[in-house]
Chain A
Amino acid sequence: MGTNTTLLAHLPLRNKARIVSMNGGHTFNQRMQVMGIREGQIIEIVSKQPFMGPLTIAINNHKMTIGRGMAHKIVVEKI
């Protein structure tokens, strides 16, 4: 990974990033894709729940809550 790439789970609050790759299985990637989470999209962290709780993210002004484990399977590049 380059200096600017990180896992979505590690992206700080309110930071924006571009999704570089999805590292889950086929089913996982598919499920993310249909909700708009896929390569090339600009993603922002809206909130992080404590104790490894879920993240709320925004893509094109649409918010979603995803589990922390899922956020570990998404590679992003800070912008």
Chain B
Amino acid sequence: MIKKIVLMGNPNVGKSVVFSRLTGANVISSNYPGTTVDFSKGKLRLDGRPVEIIDAPGTYSLKPSNKAEEAAAKMLQDADVVIDVIDATNLERNLYLALELLERKIPIVIALNMWDEARHLGIHIDEKKLEKMLKVPVVPTVALTGEGIKELVSNIKNAKSPKRELLKNDEQRWVEIGRIVKQVEKFEHKHHDLRDKIEDLTIKPITGIPIALGIIFAAFWLVRLIGENLIYYVLDRFFYNIYLPLIEQLSKIIGPGFIHTILIGEFGTKIDFVESLGMLTTGLYVPIAMVLPYIIAFYFVLSLLEDTGYLPRLATLVDNVFHKLGMHGHGIVPMFLGLGCNVPGALATRTLETRKQRFISATLLAIAIPCMAQTAMVFGMLGKFGLLYIGIVFLTLGVLYIILGLIMNKFVKGDSPEIFLEIPPYRRPNLKATVKKTWMRVRWFLREAIPFLFFGVAIINVLYAIGFLQWLGELFQPVMHGLFGLPGEASTALMIGFLRKDLAVGMLLTIKNMSAMQLVITSVMLTIYFPCVATFAVLIKELGLKDMFKSFLIMVGTAVTVGVILRIILLGV
């Protein structure tokens, strides 16, 4: 009886799209190899019975070359059926894994995915003949549109583990693959089209580097544009025109006392959504009206970059720089994902091959990459002083990323192998899919962040009420003032920053009389000194305790050093 089905295949053949189609569950898929670094589980109804189905990370062979591929190879052990997803536009290379799977004596059915694109490229595959030669069911599919998925499901029970002559070595395998391809595949001559021209322009350094700068600039500009407009036209209107009168009414009903303080803020003072520090005021306004708009904007733009297939090109163009930092070009993927949230960023370091690369990538991520929640709050906090101050924060972090990378590359032991990356063809992003993916990530934020902030505000209130935060501020006053030229209360923000960085920036806003430059210093230190608890937990898992401890020492050392340097430069004392 079939209990467990595993989806296997080369990277970027669309396994996750097939998985979403089969289970109705939503998982993140993109147009670059290595989107799935962990596995996803789902259920599929087969003849009325639920069957577990697992989406494994992509791998080129069962002899893995990185952590994500290792995980994929392991997943095979208790599979009852394997669905081998094959990229029809690249039959030859994909058949290698197929042959390896066939040798494992696990029943297999093959999904010949991207069937439409293969036809478009003038590649004709005789799937019936392929079926005969491999002796397992072969189903052409277009997972993006759902074509062929029904046939795939009905063929799961026909999955076979045919008796085959055992191939002794790779040479024999390639000979066998050559024999198969020769019989089933035919090419039509294809002319150079617009897509090829764009592919050329974006990967040649002379044109590619200016285009890359333009795209990155446009991406950030678009994030700001969408974020600001959502706040101005939608969320602030809602909060100030509809929500505020309600809260004012509620304030009258509750009256003075601790309950008022914890829910709304201090009684009798004007309600301020940012500074009142009540659960129903700050606790909702910060995540929903200040952070969420930028989260939506960021993930929408990131989805566009991912789904077009631009990221591997960018990885190629920046490879030189990243190689000097002890990684290779693919290191830009954890960095980009980290700009949204450090947690997926930390997971994405798995696609790097060695311990050295992963250590550097994860440490730099934790130190110099602010997540979008924090960035949004920094924008909100420093925006009124002018772009210059926001500029100082990001310039400092950017310079830090490079300097620390150069240093770690020198001192961290281990290899830093060269880039070896597949460059997928450009694909036109599908608006519906982009919106869906953005929503999946935004929903994650809503589920994780809003409760944290909502109850975080309550905890802060309690800590204030019992005098803990005041005590902490006084305790650290000599350190904060002596080293960084900051008021003692800034230390409370750093403490809250361990829970969530956006809330920490929110707390800074409630501290009176901080100058713009002091806010800049605290924002930078808040990014560097320690990741938030969610990222911290993932990093321990990814790096191991020993390396995480080393990474932690680097974080604290860097935060203190940078804090002192900034104080000397920016405050002049």
Contact = CB atoms under 8 A, between A and B. Distances in A.
A4 interface: no
Nearest to B330: A65
B423 A54 contact: no
A30 B423 CA distance: 19
11 contacts: A30-B61, A30-B63, A31-B420, A35-B420, A46-B203, A50-B205, A60-B92, A61-B121, A62-B93, A65-B315, A65-B316
Contacts of B65: 31
Contacts of A36: 90, 92-93
Nearest to B91: A60
Contact of A49 (B61, B199, B317): B317
B203 A67 contact: no
B279 to A, nearest CB: 50
A12 interface: no
Given A54-B319, A63-B425, A65-B421, 14 more contacts: A30-B61, A38-B174, A49-B319, A52-B320, A53-B205, A54-B418, A56-B423, A62-B90, A65-B319, A66-B418, A67-B319, A67-B418, A67-B419, A67-B420
A31 B425 CA distance: 21
Interface in A9-49: 30-31, 33-36, 38, 46-49
Contacts, number: 91
Given A63-B423, A67-B420, A53 B92 contact: no
A42 B315 CA distance: 25
Closest 10 CB pairs of A and B: A67-B418, A63-B423, A34-B60, A36-B93, A53-B320, A65-B316, A34-B61, A47-B204, A65-B421, A47-B203
A66 to B, nearest CB: 5
B203 A64 contact: no
A70 B418 contact: yes
A66 B329 CA distance: 10
Contact of B420 (A52, A62, A66): A66
Contacts of B96: 33-34
Interface residues of B, number: 35
A69 B203 CA distance: 19
B151 interface: no
B208 A65 contact: no
Contacts of A35: 60, 93, 420, 422
A54 B417 CA distance: 12
A33 B170 contact: yes
Contacts of B63: 30
Contact-residue bracket for chain A: 20 to 34
Chain A interface helix/strand/loop/mixed: mixed
A26 B388 CA distance: 54
B200 interface: yes
Contacts of A34: 60-61, 93, 96-97
B328 interface: yes
A48 B435 CA distance: 36
B365 to A, nearest CB: 22
Contact of B316 (A38, A49, A60): A49
Contacts of B420: 31, 35, 64-67, 70
A38 B317 CA distance: 25
Contact of B422 (A50, A62, A67): A62
Nearest to A31: B65
A53 B121 contact: no
B312 interface: yes
Contacts of A53: 205, 319-320
A31 B204 CA distance: 25
Interface string B190-208: 0000000001100111001
B205 A47 contact: yes
Interface in B294-342: 312, 315-317, 319-320, 328-329
A51 B320 contact: yes
A68 B418 contact: yes
A33 B319 CA distance: 22
A38 to B, nearest CB: 7
B419 A47 contact: no
Contacts of B203: 46-47, 56, 63
Contacts of A48: 205
A41 B420 CA distance: 18
Given A49-B319, A70-B420, A65 B329 contact: yes
The residue in B203, B329, B423 that gathers the most chain A C-beta atoms within 10 A of its C-beta is: B423
A47 B422 contact: no
A35 B204 CA distance: 22
Nearest to A62: B90
A54 B323 CA distance: 10
A53 B319 CA distance: 7
Interface string B33-74: 000000000000000000000000000110101000000000
B316 A56 contact: yes
The residue in A30, A36, A46, A53 that gathers the most chain B C-beta atoms within 10 A of its C-beta is: A53
A54 B90 CA distance: 23
A47 B317 CA distance: 10
Nearest to A56: B203
A24 to B, nearest CB: 11
Contacts of A51: 320
Given A36-B93, A64-B420, A49 B205 contact: yes
Interface string B422-454: 110100000000000000000000000000000
Interface string B232-258: 000000000000000000000000000
Interface in B367-415: none
Nearest to A39: B174
Nearest to B62: A34
Contacts of A65: 312, 315-316, 319, 329, 419-421, 423
Nearest to B417: A67
Nearest to A57: B423
